[in-house]
């Protein structure tokens, strides 16, 4: 105990020396250094944070000395998340600037990574999964699926697992991963962990189990997600093109996921080059009531104004029926199911039964809730993941009471088969209970959803 206190005191003395101050519990210390403003005061927690910054700077400088460019980038990324550069002392800012300049210049000299950077090697695989904590059941199921799939394959392999739940961030976990030097990484599972891992300078191939923003073909990361919004939007675009839809209305609510789907769909439209372009003529946000929002999107209230003007002009009371716009082909809703199920009945109210309604859920509802709601849906084409639709059909037949863990086991098995297929010359479609997995020319994995017809209790697959 005495030695531990001495060691701690030495650390504080070494790393706090730039400010020539010492720490006492509960006291706010005034820095005496000429390099920092006299008005700035550091609490004990802030001084400990500065020690963390100093350690990261030293690690980055050591990596620079050893010409480990990628590691310098990793440490700079962590420094930026820990503290803004303006919060550092002038000396620390200068060191940070020198490291950043070195990293930027080194990146320009280095050859850009090739598209073949993502390759599979089973020699020393590592799974980054939550083996404890709230997501432990899912993590353990994925790992078991990986193990069982590789065990059935006639090839040598080595697969270990690292519990991501014991680390505060993926940066902390990556320190250990870097020392282990795996040949291939499966995971992470949580979306926040995938984003943190993507921010690091990866050179080890990674197959993550959740979506990642703005992945480039040159990145070492790929994604395998059975509920990918990117694949769902691509499928929606295909269905709209096949139905020759040209003028559509988009419905969303205030949810971030719903708004993101609208944004990504509009971006996809701009990138798509087709003979008959699809035009979004209206984007309507539902604040509280679907009927009011749809009335606005269909311009039904405008016929009320025309009726009032004509009635006033001729001086006679008129029999009137609202007439919405007739120049639309499709209504697309990025809504939760309780709002989406109201759209088609309202279209029928406006005598727009011929107007197709595609529903791409902003968030998948629990299977039980959607099954219960099926009698109340009318004439809706729902874009749903294959595994989710299979659960609904089994639930309708009262065959399951599934917790969803089986899905994660299947995900692990499919991940193993997917990466092994990359080593084969003729990559083909892999069939699984999660859906048909395909790989494009840029080694990106896709599990495209299907279209299902929802109408007064009917739940049928439309796509062949």
Range among 3-7, 39-43, 98-102 rated most confident: 98-102
Question: Looking at 146-155, 231-240, 390-399, which range is the least confident one?
Answer: 390-399
Q: What is the pLDDT of residues 335-351, one digit of tens each?
A: 999 999 999 999 998 88
Question: Looking at 29-43, 65-79, 319-333, 412-426, which range is the least confident one?
Answer: 29-43
Indicate where the chain has its CATH 3.40.50.2300 domain(s). 118-227+405-448, 229-363
Q: pLDDT-based confidence at 109, cuts 50/70/90?
A: low
The full length of the chain comes to: 464
Mean pLDDT of the chain: 82
pLDDT at 107: 62
To the question of domain 118-227+405-448 being in CATH 3.40.50.2300, the answer is yes
Q: What is the pLDDT of residues 140-170, one digit of tens each?
A: 999 999 999 999 998 889 999 999 999 988 9
Q: pLDDT-based confidence at 301, cuts 50/70/90?
A: low
Is pLDDT at 24 greater than 50 in this prediction?
A: no
Find the mean pLDDT for residues 113-129. Answer: 80
| CATH code for residues 229-363 | 3.40.50.2300
Question: Looking at 4-8, 265-269, 373-377, which range is the least confident one?
Answer: 4-8
Q: Report the predicted TM-score, pTM, of the whole model to 2 decimal places.
A: 0.72
58: which residues sit within 8 A by CB, 6+ positions away? none
């Amino acid at each position: 105990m005495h030695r531990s206190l001495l060691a701690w005191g030495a650390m504080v003395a070494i790393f706090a020396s730039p400010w020539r101050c010492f720490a006492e519990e509960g006291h706010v210390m005034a820095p005496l250094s000429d390099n920092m403003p006299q008005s700035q005061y550091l609490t004990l927690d802030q001084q400990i944070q500065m020690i963390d910054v100093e350690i990261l700077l030293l690690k980055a400088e050591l990596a620079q000395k050893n010409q480990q460019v990628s590691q310098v980038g990793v440490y700079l990324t962590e420094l930026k998340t820990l503290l803004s550069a303006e919060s550092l002392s002038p000396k620390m800012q200068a060191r940070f600037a020198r490291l950043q300049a070195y990293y930027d210049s080194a990146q320009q000299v280095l050859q850009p990574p090739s598209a073949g950077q993502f390759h599979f090697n089973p020699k020393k695989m590592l799974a980054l999964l939550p083996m404890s904590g709230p997501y432990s059941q899912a993590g353990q199921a994925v790992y078991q699926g990986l193990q069982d799939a590789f065990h059935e394959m006639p090839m040598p392999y080595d697969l270990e697992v690292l519990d991501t739940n014991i680390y505060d961030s993926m940066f902390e976990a990556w320190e250990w991963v870097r020392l282990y030097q795996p040949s291939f990484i499966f995971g992470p599972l949580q979306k926040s962990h995938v984003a943190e891992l993507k921010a690091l300078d990866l050179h080890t191939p990674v197959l993550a189990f959740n979506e990642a923003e703005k992945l480039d073909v040159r990145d070492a990361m790929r994604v395998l997600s059975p509920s990918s919004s990117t694949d769902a939007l691509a499928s929606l675009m295909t269905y709209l093109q096949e139905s020759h839809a040209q003028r559509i209305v988009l419905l969303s609510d205030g949810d971030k996921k719903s708004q993101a789907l609208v944004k990504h769909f509009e971006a996809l439209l701009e990138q798509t080059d087709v003979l008959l372009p699809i035009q979004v003529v209206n984007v309507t946000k539902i604040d509280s009531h679907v009927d009011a929002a749809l009335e606005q999107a269909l311009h039904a209230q405008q016929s009320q104004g025309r009726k009032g003007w004509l009635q006033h002009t001729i001086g006679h009371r008129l029999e009137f029926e609202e007439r919405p716009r007739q120049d639309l082909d499709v209504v697309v809703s990025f809504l939760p199911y309780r709002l989406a199920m109201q759209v088609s009945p309202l279209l029928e109210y406006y005598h727009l039964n011929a107007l197709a309604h595609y529903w791409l859920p902003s968030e998948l509802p629990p299977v039980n809730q959607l099954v219960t709601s099926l009698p109340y849906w009318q004439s809706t084409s729902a874009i749903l993941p294959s595994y989710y639709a299979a659960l609904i059909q089994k639930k309708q037949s009262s065959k399951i009471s599934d917790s969803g863990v089986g899905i994660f086991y299947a995900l692990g098995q499919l991940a193993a088969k997917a990466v092994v297929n990359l080593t084969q010359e003729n990559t083909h479609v892999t069939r699984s209970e999660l859906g048909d997995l395909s790989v494009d020319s840029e080694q990106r994995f896709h599990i495209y959803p299907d279209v299902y017809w929802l109408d007064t209790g009917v739940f049928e697959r439309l796509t062949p």
